[in-house]
Amino acid sequence: MPAISSHRSGLKRTVAALACTLAAGTAAAQDRITSFGLYGAPGLMDTPTAEMAPDATLSTTFARIHDSTRVTLSFQLTPRISGSFRYAALENFSNPGSIGGVYYDRSFDLRYQLLTEGRYRPAVTIGLQDFAGTGLYSSEYLVATKTIAPGLKLTGGLGWGRLGSSNAFATTGTRPTTTLGKGGIPSYNQWFRGDVSAFGGISYAPNDRLRLKAEYSLDAYVDEVAGSSFKRKSPWNYGLDYTFKSGHQLSLYHAYGDTFGVSMTFFTRLKESPIPGSTDSAPLPVKPRSAAQRADLGWTADSTISNKAYGSLSASLAKEGIALEGMDLDGRSATVRVRNIRYGMTPQAIGRTARAMTRSLPGSVENFTIVPVVSGMALSAVEMRRSDVEALENEAAAEMLAKTRIVDGFGRAPEVTPGIYPRFTWSLGPDLNFSIFDPNSPIRANLNMRVQAAYELSPNLVLEGAVSKRVTGNLYKVSTPPAVAPTLPPVRTDYAKYANEGDPAIDSLTLSYYGRPGPNLFSRVSVGYLEMMYAGVSTEVLWKPVDSRLGLGVELNYVKKRDFDQMFGLQSYDAVTGYASAYYDFGNGFHGQLDVGRYLAGDYGATISLDREFGNGWRVGAYATFTDASAEDFGEGSFDKGLRFTIPLSWPSGKSTRGASKITLQSLNRDGGSRLELNNRLYDRVREYHEPQMTNTWGRFWR
């Protein structure tokens, strides 16, 4: 069955982000990443080691052994926990799910390091391989690795499943043999059950570039041997790693006495940038005041000075990529209303605004209040003393944070300066829309030209939309899975019809109103063509105190399905869908979300999400949706789940921008658990301007 992961973004953004993710050399030689094996995780070849990659390392491994190709994406979620997603293609594989003699398989791994390596103690890791897939690669293990001399490491472990499929020395009960099913549900009844075999190996790195390794693997390759010319003649495998200066790894193998293998692993360190420092222009220096300037209030009797100060500040901020929309000024204080156009890290915009204020405002103005606004909503009010800005310019940003207050912006924003609205913006450029995991063609894509435009009638009222025209592509050929549950309407599985007939297409056309109904409250109402498949009305209310890690929201939508040509027509299918949501910032960049409600197909359930975000804007996460649609009704995959990545465009370039490429990898796209694809939900718009998030990125205040 096909699995579709559709993503719409500017082509330049997507290609640049993916290229830099794969090619950026961020693994320093002095912090060398351990060897990765054929399964795209720390290992020798087919067997794991107990080592972990450095925290926040994202790796992509392309591996080939005989008739099997494996592509694995792994992420070091914490220093001791890592996870992997694998997509494999097995040729000459006899299985009912094979297409053209090729069987495509998806699997997930999870590893936890029980013990780190000490002077006498080995590192010890427990792992689940293919714990929620079809079971083709299913295995569990307990493994230890110890450095016994510089560059020389020994590994030994116990394996179940594939790692225990020959020469077992013990058993821990009967292991269920059902594999290659619908997949998607953790196979609890198999874990650490069945035959147990020992595996092990040795590696030696004479220098930072080369590593020699040998392993003893008891994976019998039962399914592969049965359907191909592969003959497993020996349990011994041998390999060679070559680590490039960039930190990426090329490996060559001779496996099981019969075949050869090769793998290439690209490492991306999300905490680091491929561009040292920043390519932004230097910020304006703070302008100190004299004692006489601090005491002079004579300017307050001359309105032209206030107007001149506003014009000077507006011009300075415009050069910094910040729009001044309003200002309240008196003898001792100034409150400015600003819109951050350029900076992905909000404190950088706040810091540059404060610097400009020291240069443009009269010397007697001591108290600064900076109110950032998004879609007319005053999200917070950042209060500081001018004298602190002057005194701490050359100190650590944390010193300035200690002197700053971040409070609710409700009722604090100055009135908008006349003439700023209405405002019209537009853009034209290439656009890439793609799908993956269709067994008939694992990767399909459309290249479109896309026009986007927004007409802001007032700060809170925005008319916006996008129109696209296909240039080339084969996305319309994505396989449509057969209906497995007549009780579930085809709310997403007819995606290919939209891709085929929507040329040209109105991607979206909405009128949205954003508001602040009260303290700690934010609201949105959108009406129109909300996304490529649905039109209607979407409403949302969010409760999010400025100093709280917790946010609560309610979303309610009434939608009708659009015609396949994605123009103005509507089909008869309609739905009421909505959710109650809870958001929580766990700290250290971890963000959790729970949505409970009714989905597009009328099924009820919940979506659980967990993301880790870094100070440079990178974000990696996963989600899973469970509804009252049964696994049988859902079909292959059993329930909706996926991985998602946000790649900031400032990361590869070193130049500040608010642009980002968002990519979602879904193991499947079915009708159960489907929700609207809205791009203007409130929480992510609001939270980056609140205290927990600004505290995490405050280090950029002086940049």
pLDDT at 278 over 80: no
Statement to judge: residues 172 and 229 lie in one domain: yes
Statement to judge: residues 252 and 360 lie in one domain: no
Q: Is 686 among the domain residues?
A: no
Mean pLDDT of 558-578: 97
* CA dist., res. 85 & res. 113, Å (int): 18
43 contacts 64 by C-beta, under 8 angstroms: no
Over residues 397-436, the pLDDT tens digits come to 999 999 999 999 999 999 999 999 999 999 998 888 777 7
Over residues 368-404, the pLDDT tens digits come to 999 999 999 999 999 999 999 999 999 999 999 999 9
450-to-138, 153, 395, 429, 467 alpha-carbon distances in Å: 44, 54, 46, 6, 6
Mean pLDDT of 218-226: 87
Domain boundary among 212, 237, 269: 269
**Highest mean predicted confidence (pLDDT) among 140-149, 175-184, 446-455:** 140-149
Q: Return the HEC string of 511-530.
A: EEEEECCCCCEEEEEEEEEC
pLDDT at 1 over 60: no
Q: Which of 650, 627, 691 is nearest to 485 (CA)?
A: 627
- Confidence at 182, pLDDT banded by 50, 70, 90: low
- Confidence at 439, pLDDT banded by 50, 70, 90: low
Q: Is 180 among the domain residues?
A: yes
Strands in 194-235 per DSSP E = 195-204, 210-216
Statement to judge: residues 262 and 212 lie in one domain: yes
pLDDT at 28 over 60: no
pLDDT at 29 over 50: no
Helices 346-360 and 303-319 sit at what angle, rounded to 10 degrees?
Answer: 140
Statement to judge: residues 251 and 315 lie in one domain: no
Mean pLDDT of 438-443: 70
CATH number at residue 325: 3.30.300
> What's the token pair of residue 608?
């659980």
Query: In total, how many domains does the chain have?
Result: 2
Chain centre distance of CA 242: 30
pLDDT at 25 over 60: no
pLDDT at 183 over 60: no
Share of the chain above pLDDT 70, in %: 89
Q: Which of 517, 572, 573, 560 is nearest to 541 (CA)?
A: 517
Q: Is 177 among the domain residues?
A: yes
* Other Cβ atoms within 10 Å of 424 Cβ, number: 10
Mean pLDDT of 250-262: 95
Q: Return the HEC string of 548-594.
A: CCEEEEEEEEEEEEECCCCCCCEEEEEEEEEEEEEEEEEECCEEEEE
Mean pLDDT of 183-204: 88
Domain assignment of residue 112, given as a range: 25-269
Mean pLDDT of 119-131: 96
Statement to judge: residues 311 and 368 lie in one domain: yes
Statement to judge: residues 90 and 216 lie in one domain: yes
> Is the pLDDT higher at 218 or at 176?
218
pLDDT at 516 over 60: yes
Domain boundary among 221, 238, 269: 269
pLDDT at 190: 87
Mean pLDDT of 539-556: 98
CATH number at residue 226: 2.40.160.40
- Confidence at 556, pLDDT banded by 50, 70, 90: very high
The sign of the dihedral angle between the CA atoms of 681, 682, 688, 693 is: negative
pLDDT at 280 over 90: no
Statement to judge: residues 200 and 100 lie in one domain: yes
Q: Is 626 among the domain residues?
A: no
pLDDT at 135: 82
The DSSP secondary structure of 51-77, one letter per residue, reads --PPTTEEEEEEEEETTEEEEEEEEE-
Q: Is 336 among the domain residues?
A: yes
Q: Is 306 among the domain residues?
A: yes
Q: Is 89 among the domain residues?
A: yes
pLDDT at 638 over 90: no
Statement to judge: residues 322 and 221 lie in one domain: no
Chain centre distance of CA 359: 39
pLDDT at 21: 47
pLDDT at 664 over 70: yes
Over residues 153-168, the pLDDT tens digits come to 999 999 999 999 999 9
pLDDT at 249 over 80: yes
pLDDT at 552: 98
Strands in 375-504 per DSSP E = 377-378, 381-385, 405-407, 423-438, 441-458, 461-473
Over residues 98-109, the pLDDT tens digits come to 777 788 888 899
Question: What is the pLDDT of the chain when averaged over all its residues?
Answer: 89
pLDDT at 30: 37
pLDDT at 343 over 80: yes
pLDDT at 134: 75
pLDDT at 591 over 80: yes
Q: What is the DSSP letter of 603?
A: -
Statement to judge: residues 211 and 299 lie in one domain: no
Domain boundary among 269, 303, 319: 269
* CA dist., res. 286 & res. 356, Å (int): 7
* CA dist., res. 421 & res. 461, Å (int): 10
pLDDT at 15: 45
Statement to judge: residues 254 and 330 lie in one domain: no
Mean pLDDT of 263-274: 89
Statement to judge: residues 234 and 305 lie in one domain: no
Q: Is 494 among the domain residues?
A: no
Out of 542-546, 579-583, 668-672, pick the least confident.
Answer: 668-672
Statement to judge: residues 315 and 232 lie in one domain: no
* CA dist., res. 424 & res. 465, Å (int): 12
